[in-house]
Structure 1
């Protein structure tokens, strides 16, 4: 049986309103740093690969290694945080991130770079742990506002990271020198988490479902590895098919184990309820639209318009400035998201977010010849993404037991990551298949096909929101 201690709440002894506000501010700083690190790495990766003499194909492993480590870290850190304290696991996650960032900054070889990226994997577990902590410390309204601010900081940081990378690269002579900046900031984050953030009070009592954690980790790792390497190895290659087979068998075994154990790492029966499952489905779909479209957008705006008939020939810094409005508007949306939750309810906000993103992609399909058109699209999509990323954790938190907050939000993060991985593979196949005759260069129809897919997925996000059932204790 699970047993919990009473929630501390925002008025817990020794933690007044000012202290609560300060704690949320510290966590926002940590999440902003996390977003900047995520945004900087793609912009610096090509040059880093050149310095380390790594082929373009092998560079795929740099992102794959971090993605696979994240797939393992999120469910495990989430469950352990619910059981032993969110700050305790947040400390471990930040230390791993700091150590990984230092190794990435050093990276005298490709192997060291990969180890660093693996250690950066728990970066994905920061947000679920922070959400568990603020839920413990704040009332419902305060928790909604704090969650929205954390999500907004992450989204804004990811967009700003590209600009930061470009500006720092102009001021610092080497790519390794640039990478020391985020490494130093992560060390500062460790100090913030160790000395300025209080521990949560609520605990999930019981044992850790290590068998379930292991099966889920192996299943997700093999699935994401197959998806990430499928375009390189070939979808019918023996290695690819073996990975998918192992993933399918392992995940089936995991579900059977979770249905039988008394204290599963993921409560399957809870997750498939109409209060949660549509939100998880929406997060998967959001991952497709959010992450899948990023690569296509970067390739499009960097293409030489005078030669291909589309694109603007932008360099990395130009791309970053063009994409920045998306992150800015996502952060703006997070600032007033809690008011919309109170006015409309979380389900309606999620539905609105899907409609906004669909409008943005349809506009892009019809108008993509000028840079200002991309700015307009990024403003619209940024608002939609910000509302979606703010609404989903709120709906999940308010529909899940308090002692399972981190693992419930961790599933949401994992679903979003898997959606992005699937989209990356599918959209890569589209851009490879629809090309100018006799070349490997995508035509404009390849890009519009990707954007039509994103528009359709965005509509499905809105549809998913309409079937989310109200929790019995709903305050919408």
Structure 2
């Protein structure tokens, strides 16, 4: 369900913009707010599972997501839409709970299988998300979509509470809520300045950007001295962990970019001089190969990671994703262009996710499984938010005087920017390779 939420919302943004009379940048901010809030969820929810147990954490996150869907459905206003999306994003940090409790309940040799099963489940969620939202909006309305989400989330929460074992906490300590809120705050300022900088006039975007950067620097200094830091900085010093987290963030950024670029181009009316004039459902179906190709690369990638060769997986993911975006930069005017491009990108990004999420799990003891998952999840959420903010800025940087829509050439610029994000993965992996020429021994640390 959490993967479905992440991929269900972007294709619906044009419908939301029409209903609430929003600009491209303002509409995309709904998605950015959700992904940014999920960054907080990826920190807090796995840590809560370490401190309070998996069943309690599943209940809390499910309630938060259900309330978020109801707020968006009942509010009938743009602020309620943003608030509801943010609450759904916050609760979606429970996406990582299966990996956490499987890490606790299974022996070390089975972790690889657990990762593969989680990847398959997430792929199913992506498929459901890309199709389900489009069906609801096509035949009903945006409000119906959120009401349906509230009902399904409530049922899912009840099911999880019924089947999860009642386990005791595996570690002690505090949550680090202040550090998490501070992190999301300064990131929000930076992303707000990037996404809205082409809409707002005057010096406000620059003031927000400067404030966000300064707050981020102060946050980093404070975290190094805090006894309840968001992450254990020592984990980032282990072989390939920092490169894996950065790579997960970059793959998240490219996925966010893909969702927005495909959504807005394919749903632009052909009368504008470009675009396919599709509705949300047809637009989503063009990205189904993206989800389906994840099944092919995920299991194969994890085998390389288990052999201590995560660099191979990350480089493969970066190169393949870059190739897919380069294809779409050149060819994005026909439906089959998207079927080919999204399949290639899905093949690369899922391989990258497999390696990026598995490495921290192998590097930490059992009592820090939640923190390890949170590191990768937060990086992914920040990447999604960053990618969507960059594409919002690109598409908002120039509009056609006659239609008020983004210029067609800006879509090529957006795809080229995504190529650059993919290639940075190679740089990060190369640095780790130089620092750790022997690779990494992929065995779980003792609890």
**How far 1:232 sits from its partner (Å)?**
2.8
CA RMSD of aligned residues (A): 3.2
Which residue in the other structure is 1:29 paired with? Answer: none
- Aligned residues of 1:350 and 1:392 also touching (Cα < 8 A): yes
The two structures have a TM-score, normalised by structure 1, of 0.80
Which residue in the other structure is 1:5 paired with? Answer: none
Which residue in the other structure is 1:365 paired with? Answer: 329
In structure 2, the CA distance between the partners of 1:460 and 1:217, relative to structure 1 (3 Å rule), is closer
Which one of the candidate residues 267, 274, 285 is aligned to 1:302? 267
Distance in structure 2 (CA, Å) of the matches to 1:118 and 1:453: 26
**How far 1:58 sits from its partner (Å)?**
5.3
Which residue in the other structure is 2:277 paired with? Answer: 313
- Aligned residues of 1:341 and 1:349 also touching (Cα < 8 A): yes
In structure 2, the CA distance between the partners of 1:166 and 1:77, relative to structure 1 (3 Å rule), is closer
Distance in structure 2 (CA, Å) of the matches to 1:407 and 1:246: 28
Which of 1 and 2 has greater Rg? 1
Match runs of 1:150-165 below 5 Å: 150-165=118-133
Is 1:255 matched up with 2:223?
Answer: no
Match runs of 1:317-466 below 5 Å: 317-342=281-306, 345-433=309-397, 441-466=405-430
Distance in structure 1 (CA, Å) of the matches to 2:199 and 2:333: 31
Distance in structure 1 (CA, Å) of the matches to 2:264 and 2:336: 17
In structure 2, the CA distance between the partners of 1:338 and 1:422, relative to structure 1 (3 Å rule), is closer
Which residue in the other structure is 1:271 paired with? Answer: 236
In structure 2, the CA distance between the partners of 1:81 and 1:302, relative to structure 1 (3 Å rule), is same
- Aligned residues of 2:11 and 2:283 also touching (Cα < 8 A): no
Aligned-partner SS, 1:204: coil
Which residue in the other structure is 2:4 paired with? Answer: 36
Distance in structure 1 (CA, Å) of the matches to 2:289 and 2:99: 26
**How far 1:175 sits from its partner (Å)?**
3.4
Q: Give 5+ residue unaligned stretches, structure 2.
A: none
Distance in structure 1 (CA, Å) of the matches to 2:331 and 2:30: 34
- Aligned residues of 1:34 and 1:157 also touching (Cα < 8 A): yes
Question: 1:155-183 CA deviation, whole Å, 9 max, x = no partner?
Answer: 442353232222234444x4323332222
In structure 2, the CA distance between the partners of 1:148 and 1:232, relative to structure 1 (3 Å rule), is farther
Distance in structure 1 (CA, Å) of the matches to 2:62 and 2:47: 17
Distance in structure 1 (CA, Å) of the matches to 2:333 and 2:176: 53
Which residue in the other structure is 2:148 paired with? Answer: 181
Which residue in the other structure is 1:100 paired with? Answer: 68
Aligned-partner SS, 1:233: coil
- Aligned residues of 2:267 and 2:283 also touching (Cα < 8 A): yes
Q: Give 5+ residue unaligned stretches, structure 1.
A: 1-32
Question: 1:427-475 CA deviation, whole Å, 9 max, x = no partner?
Answer: 3343344666887555554323322222232222234334444786424
Aligned-partner SS, 1:205: coil
Question: 1:188-243 CA deviation, whole Å, 9 max, x = no partner?
Answer: 11112211012556622234445434433433343344344333325x633x3343
In structure 2, the CA distance between the partners of 1:337 and 1:123, relative to structure 1 (3 Å rule), is farther
**How far 1:312 sits from its partner (Å)?**
3.0
Which residue in the other structure is 1:205 paired with? Answer: 172
Which residue in the other structure is 1:11 paired with? Answer: none
**How far 1:76 sits from its partner (Å)?**
2.5
In structure 2, the CA distance between the partners of 1:339 and 1:61, relative to structure 1 (3 Å rule), is closer
Count of residues paired in the alignment: 439
Which residue in the other structure is 1:243 paired with? Answer: 208
Mean alpha-carbon deviation: is it higher for 214-223 or for 431-440? Answer: 431-440
Which residue in the other structure is 1:286 paired with? Answer: 251
**How far 1:92 sits from its partner (Å)?**
0.8
Distance in structure 2 (CA, Å) of the matches to 1:241 and 1:440: 25
- Aligned residues of 1:102 and 1:180 also touching (Cα < 8 A): yes
Distance in structure 1 (CA, Å) of the matches to 2:389 and 2:177: 31
Which residue in the other structure is 2:93 paired with? Answer: 125
Distance in structure 2 (CA, Å) of the matches to 1:60 and 1:363: 24
Is 1:218 matched up with 2:185?
Answer: yes
Distance in structure 2 (CA, Å) of the matches to 1:228 and 1:87: 37
- Aligned residues of 1:90 and 1:130 also touching (Cα < 8 A): no
- Aligned residues of 1:87 and 1:133 also touching (Cα < 8 A): no
Question: 1:324-381 CA deviation, whole Å, 9 max, x = no partner?
Answer: 1111111343344434544673332222111211222233334444322321111111
**How far 1:139 sits from its partner (Å)?**
2.9
Question: 1:228-281 CA deviation, whole Å, 9 max, x = no partner?
Answer: 4333325x633x334333333333333223222345332224325543211122
Which one of the candidate residues 81, 86, 90 is aligned to 2:54? 86
